[in-house]
Structure 1
Amino acid sequence: MSSFPEGFLWGASTAPHQVEGGNVNADLWRSEWAPGSPFREPSGDACDHYHRYPEDIATLAELGLNAYRFGVEWARIEPEEGYFSRAALDHYRRMVATCLERGVTPVVTYYHFSSPRWFASAGGWDGPGAVDRFARYAERVTEHIGDLVPWVCTINEPNLISLMVHTRFAPAASREDGLGLPEHLRLPEGAPVPPPVAWPSPNIEIMAKAHRKAAEAVKAGPGDSAVGWTLALLDLQAAEGGEQRCAAARQATLLDWLDVSRDDDFVGVQTYTRERIGPDGLLPVPDGVPTTQTGWEVYPPALAHSVRLAAERAGVPVLVTENGMATDDDEARIAYTRAALEGLAECVADGVDVRGYLHWTLLDNFEWTSGYAMTFGLIAVDRTTFARTVKPSARWLGEVARAGGPF
């Protein structure tokens, strides 16, 4: 018997800037090439998914997966303020249509960290008019593809910068480079400050307003999309003496943001690991404990913990929009995912309304400041030829999806 309900979404996720390539109008592209850039290397052609998406969606479907979360790129759609590219919008409509033709449910993210250069230069999310600019963009995208899209994620991980500010949590490879945010996470002393990048604002009021106005634009149609946003739900645990500090961090970085989701159709849960908080902040991973390429503890129970927290706090259905691990050991990826899914199945058995599991990520891709060093993908990508190689973990997950469990 299936461990998951009928219609459960089994799939994988990507982000446009990380896989498409050639996103030259984006703030991140400019920052990647700037002197003193915090990025290990530029994104360049990435995985050329912009042109190879039919192949990638076909592979996903052939594996047995029935859902694909991908993003539409704001910097392509509105490369100059007020100018919307019909060609770019048509491209994303074709992507959605390709999913549907393959029997794959499209889950579309409107904003996944990359922004038009003009938006970043105008102050990004903290700039005047940011909320209205994003809502205008969401309205235009919905007008063009909304009739075909059943699931919309407005903003990816709007709480990420808040999480980093309050806990200093980040991949090990980027904890010292500041991600281009010298005001919140200082760059190494004397390092040049790169051009502005419009990372989400740590101000929850700004991001909540942007999400709400965008959600209203999506709900105005066409179509009848379920709308939510995705949150970085780090499994924060208190160590001895850190109870008060942990509670405060949970409130500011997780609970307050989950409260915003109470008015949504679902909440996207994105969890990879846990972090323990002591009286002075985050504690290091204990000696001898397995870690991923990102320096995070291998801790599969984090997913179930975050799903239960999200369901209880937000009171809406949960869609797991990201979960996975950066590793070059594919057997370790399978073991991690199996354990995470076992915990997720227990959530479902206990009555938690979980609508799907979307693995991060479909393709080995550009992992922000870490460049191409981190391999989260179910499918390997040759950095020169773009040739795809399906990993055993992808075939394993497809078999689980076909059977609906067990693992």
Structure 2
Amino acid sequence: HDPITVRATRLKRGPKGWLEESAIIEFTKYAAFMAWSLGDMVDNWATFNEPMAVCEAGYMMGQSGFPPGVNSFMAAKKAAKNMVLAHAHAYNAIKRWDTIRADDDSPNSAFVGLIHNVIPAYPLREGEKVDVEASRFMDNLHNQFFPRAVTDGWLDENLNGIKEKNEMKGYLANHLDWLGVNYYTRFVIKGKRNLLAKLFAGIPAVPEIVPNYGFGCQPASQSADGRPASNMGWEIYPEGMLDALKSMAKFAKPLYITENGIADAEDNLRPKFLKDHIAVLKKAVEEEKIDVRGYFHWALTDNYEWARGFKMRFGLFAVDLQTKKRKKRKSAETYKRIIAEGVN
């Protein structure tokens, strides 16, 4: 998530991470070195994993546990702009320095993409204009801003969702070969009018993430809709994956589900989670004709989870942290059957 060294983020004295334009240069140099060093072994490249999570959680939600722990909407906007620029420069660097096709069936020697956490935003009250406007703002900020900038060249700096002439940056357009979609759950949004936010930040209605939906549930509980929630407190909402894919399909790039999974230590929810989400994926490909090239379940084994350590168990295989032994969960067999037989 955070491909930037600790030394580059010293908020009190010194560099300020993605708030520094020098971070763009350093990241581009890093991407060039990786392409030059590993180009004979790698054809598919991703510049960032979940850049908007870095910007929002790191620069706008200081208590999230994500570095560097800043609380500023303006800082998040600046970080997002700099990460867009860093992606575009890194894209060019990888194309220049990886000229060796590692695999004969690769589209080209450097197929450069981006992994994006897509969270569909739904209004709490569909008939309330303030909720609809707030959910659109949230969708524009979190889902549309980054891929739109590196495909269409529209850098929506004030995040008002209105295309303005000075926001069209031709040098950013066409800097994406494929797009990874990480999907876990949804946002349910309630809007609030704020004149200062509208005047100074271009926010038509301030979005509030409604608790007991999406990411805002109690761990291992039920959402306000009566849907089960994971050990992380994330509501299971498989139909949202179709909306996420539809939303990203308009950028006309091959799509991959690069993350989709659940924190479920007892493995009670994961088998059905797998079946339901892959059924939605099947519908997306077969009925909606969305160009999805692959699905990667998160995760093969229990892993380190940002800000939560090893407490959250996402793996198809359990890991004993003392002995490091792996043990197959029943959901691994479910996934094996789906791969072999498909899902109905």
Do they superpose with TM above 0.5? yes
Q: Distance in 1 between matches of 2:232 and 2:279?
A: 23
Spell out, residue by residue over 1:54-92, the C-alpha distance to the aligned partner (whole angstroms, 9 max, x if none): xxxxxxxxxxxxxxxxxxxxxxxxxxxxxxxxxxxxxxx
1:204-283 equivalences in 2 (<5 Å): 204-220=80-96, 221-223=98-100, 224-240=109-125, 241=128, 242-262=131-151, 263=174, 264-280=176-192, 281-283=208-210
Q: Distance in 2 between matches of 1:201 and 1:149?
A: 32
Kept after mapping to 2: 8 A contact 1:226/1:265: yes
1:110-149 equivalences in 2 (<5 Å): 112-121=1-10, 122-149=15-42
Q: Distance in 2 between matches of 1:237 and 1:162?
A: 21
Alignment match, 1:352:
290
Kept after mapping to 2: 8 A contact 1:231/1:268: yes
Alignment match, 1:319:
256
Opposite residue 284 of structure 1, the aligned amino acid is P
Segments of structure 1 that go 5 or more residues without pairing to the other structure are: 1-111, 169-174, 187-198
Aligned-residue Cα RMSD (Å) equals 2.5
The farther-off stretch of 388-397 and 361-370 is 388-397
Q: Distance in 2 between matches of 1:185 and 1:399?
A: 47
Kept after mapping to 1: 8 A contact 2:270/2:331: yes
TM-score for both structures, normalised by structure 2: 0.74
Q: Distance in 2 between matches of 1:164 and 1:305?
A: 23
Report deviation, 1:176: 4.5
Report deviation, 1:117: 2.3
Kept after mapping to 2: 8 A contact 1:157/1:232: yes
SS at match of 2:338: helix
SS at match of 1:351: coil
SS at match of 1:279: strand
Q: Distance in 1 between matches of 2:276 and 2:94?
A: 36
Aligned length: 276
Kept after mapping to 2: 8 A contact 1:300/1:337: no
Q: Distance in 2 between matches of 1:219 and 1:372?
A: 37
Report deviation, 1:180: 4.3
Change beyond 3 A, Cα 1:117–1:359: same
| Greater RCO (CA < 8 Å, at least 6 residues apart) | 1
Q: Distance in 1 between matches of 2:22 and 2:83?
A: 12
1:65-76 equivalences in 2 (<5 Å): none
* Percentage of identical aligned residues: 27
Report deviation, 1:177: 4.8
Q: Distance in 2 between matches of 1:319 and 1:333?
A: 20
